[in-house]
Each structure stands twice: as structure tokens, then as C-alpha cells.
Amino acid sequence: MAEKCFLSPREITWAMVESCERKATLSTSAQFLLGILAGVYIAFASEGSNMAAFNLLAKPETFGLGRCLAGAIFPGGLMLVVLAGGELFTGNTMMAMPLALKKISLVSMMRNWFWVYLGNLVGSLLIAHMLCASGLFNAGNNLLGGMSIKIAYGKVSLSFLQAFYLGILCNWLVCLAVWMAAGALSVTGKIFAIFFPIWLFITSGFEHCVANMYYIPAGIFAKDNPAWSAASGLSDQALASLGWQSFALGNLLPVTLGNIVGGGLFVGLAYLGAYRKN
């Protein structure tokens, strides 16, 4: 008999219930530390995708190609989270499954979400600061710094509803990547399961709250450098609108809410509803 190399969708559902149930039992320090590591890994992927594609993103005729290239780089971040170990808020939205089954309490789920979210933010800010301080954004005659600012400005310029819907679409795909990786029983299978949905989400331009914890602060830090702000081509008014308040309220809040709906409802609870009987 051939060796089994993947789980069925029904088996994945109950494996994910057990996995999410275990997340609720992690200590606070473990949740926070693993959250920092996951934030670092996603920030590495965000920076790498910008570095690969910034010159293509700067031109309308190559913009789509640039998004496609960035999407091919970004999946490495989630691969690090899944294979090396980390706690990522967007994946943990599927803790709604054991909550619905009353296997965990609302308090334990919210405790996990809080500490993991905070850890993701700390890790992302650390990498954003280090990259700006390193001078890496001088790449391409300061165009990488300029593009980092421009990307951040574009994200804080979304309306609340736009950011919310883009957040739903993003985490629908991200949690499907985590879902399929849980069903793959080999490292190679997990890598391929992660790669294609994440490539699709980045190429499409959807919004991921943890990735934005790097993208937007990196732009906020970078705009203080005159050469990088000049390379962005943005007006003084646009640069002034890019700040911590627009980051938190204009993007992070609606994207986070959308990510919760996309992962918790459209993946976790949808499959639980399909396979809960029997």
C-alpha cells in the first residue's frame, strides 16, 4: 500500500481544531516570544519582496510583473513561521474553531490573540528599524527607500471598507495556505502548499495586518530621510499624512478586522460547519 502523503479535508479540519486548541495552552511568554519571531519572519519576506520588485513597481507598464515577482519571494516568510516555528496572528484567527466547539474559552483565545499580535508588532518594528538604520534603502539610487514610502502611503490611503475587504480576501488565502500545509505530511508538500496561495495574495494586492506592521512603519521611518522621501515622488502633504495614527486607525484596524473574518469565518468556521457532523 502506498504511503499516505496528505490528509483529507475532513482530517485537516480536526487536526486544525487540535492545533488551535493547543495554542490556547501556551504560556504568555511563549506566545509573545513566538509572536516576535513570526513578526520578524514576515518582515524579512516583506523587505525581500520589496527589494526584488521595487524597480518594476515604479513603472506602470511593469507593475503587474513586479507584483508577481514580489509574490514569488514573500511565501518564504510563512514557510519560516510554519517550519521553523512561530505564532502568527492571522493564522491564529482559526482558533474560532475550538471556541465554537467550546474546547477553549473566549478569554484564552483573546489572551493568545493579544500577546501574539503584540509580539508580531514588536518583531516587525524591530526589522523595519534595523533596515532603515542599515542604509539598505539606498539601493537603486534611493529608489527602494522611495518605493517603501510610496507603498506605505498607498496602504494608509485606503478607505476603511476597502482595507476591510482586502483584509478578508488576504487572510482567506493565508489561512488556506496554513490549512493545506497542515494536511501535507512532508516538508516538500508543506512548502508547495504555502507557496501558491501566498503568491496569489501578494500578486493580487490584498492586505495582511502583520505584513503591514513592517510595510507601513518602514515607510514612516524612511520618510525622515530626505533622499528617500524625494525618491518617493510624494507631495509634502502626502508625506505628512503618513504617520502612526494613519497606520493604526487607517489601515491596521480595518485590515485586522478583515483578517479575522477571512480566516476565522471563511476558512475555519466554514470547514467546521461542513465537517462537524460525523
pTM for the structure as a whole = 0.96
pLDDT of residue 35: 98
Q: Which residue is it, cell 507598464?
A: 61
277 in a structural domain: no
Mean pLDDT of 10-24: 97
Mean pLDDT of 8-18: 97
2 in a structural domain: no
Amino acid identity at 217? P
74 in a structural domain: yes
Query: Considering just the CA atoms, what is the radius of gyration of the chain in Å?
Result: 19
Express each pLDDT in 214-227 by its tens digit.
999 999 999 999 99
> Three-class SS string for 12-44?
HHHHHHHHHHHHCCCCHHHHHHHHHHHHHHHHH
Does residue 1 register a pLDDT over 60?
no
Contact yes or no for 178/11 (Cβ under 8 A) = no
pLDDT tier at 3, thresholds 50, 70, 90: confident
Pairwise CA distance, residues 76 & 86, whole Å: 13
1 in a structural domain: no
Express each pLDDT in 65-97 by its tens digit.
999 999 999 999 999 999 999 999 999 999 999
29 in a structural domain: yes
pLDDT tier at 278, thresholds 50, 70, 90: low
CB within 8 Å of 107: residues ≥ 6 apart:
none
| CB-based burial label for 240 (10 Å; 0-12, 13-18, 19+) | exposed
60 in a structural domain: yes
Q: How many domains does the chain have?
A: 1
pLDDT of residue 88: 98
125 in a structural domain: yes
Residue 153: which domain range?
9-272
CATH code for the domain of 58: 1.20.1080.10
- Give the other-Cβ count within 10 Å of 24's Cβ: 19
